[in-house]
Amino acid sequence: MHKKTWLIFSCLAILISGYAVVQYFFMDAHQAGFVKLKLLLNSTLSSFWYIMLYLHIVFSIVALVIGPFTLFSRFREKNIKRHRMIGKIYMIGILLGGVSGLYLAFYATGGLMSQLGFGFLSIFWLITAFQALIKIKYKKVLDHQKWMIRNYSLTFAAVTLRIWLVLFTVLFGFEHFNISYSIIAWLCWVPNLIVAEWFIQRKLNMMKHQENANLQF
């Protein structure tokens, strides 16, 4: 990841994380947009639901904020031990954030389409993290990096979700929010994954060109 790209991702991650911390931990969580909407549609939210919500928020924030440091090549090359330590913390964040996210997906606003969208997001989030762990276990560094890029593109859904929410609210208002939200449940992560695949292929092509240039030299 280039420095400019890293800065953009880091700033957006910190802004969204800061917003979530203020909203859920310094203000009344019941007044948070997602919770408030839930209470309007379903006045009986269990204590366990709130526990899973806070688990999801805390550990997703951890993954979101430290994720760019695992992808920044300069940091990784100069701080191998720190990279491994941060990587372990990141994986713990994905595990707990993903499991709690999967539970919360069953209660997603917008009906079945939203539930499936967020459910598949959580599943793929966990699968890509597992694949990244397996690859690095067998010293397949390049494959590990590919899966980490895919994984963080799904982690970054926390940011793109809010961007799409603002955009849809401006364009369509709150009249058909359930429909909008069921679309956003997929839109917040599917394009991210497509961009990640494009980035991976671009990186591979650049490496091939470099190898060919070295051979010719």
The predicted-structure confidence for 9-23, as pLDDT tens digits, reads as follows 889 999 989 988 887
CATH of the domain at 90: 1.20.120
pLDDT category at 36 given cuts 50, 70, 90 is low
144: containing domain: 3-35+46-216
Residue 57 falls inside a structural domain = yes
Residue 188 falls inside a structural domain = yes
Residue 41 falls inside a structural domain = no
Residue 204 falls inside a structural domain = yes
pTM of the complete model: 0.88
DSSP one-letter string for the chain:
--HHHHHHHHHHHHHHHHHHHIIIIIS-GGGSHHHHHHHHH-S---HHHHHHHHHHHHHHHHHHHHHHHHH-HHHHHH-HHHHHHHHHHHHHHHHHHHHHHHHHHTT-TTSHHHHHHHHHHHHHHHHHHHHHHHHHHTT-HHHHHHHHHHHHHHHTHHHHHHHHHHHHHHHHTTTTHHHHHHHHHHHTTHHHHHHHHHHHHHHHHHHHHHHHHHHH-
Residue 138 falls inside a structural domain = yes
Residue 187 falls inside a structural domain = yes
Residue 149 falls inside a structural domain = yes
Q: Count how many domains the chain has.
A: 1
Task: Reply yes or no on whether the pLDDT at 197 is more than 60.
Answer: yes
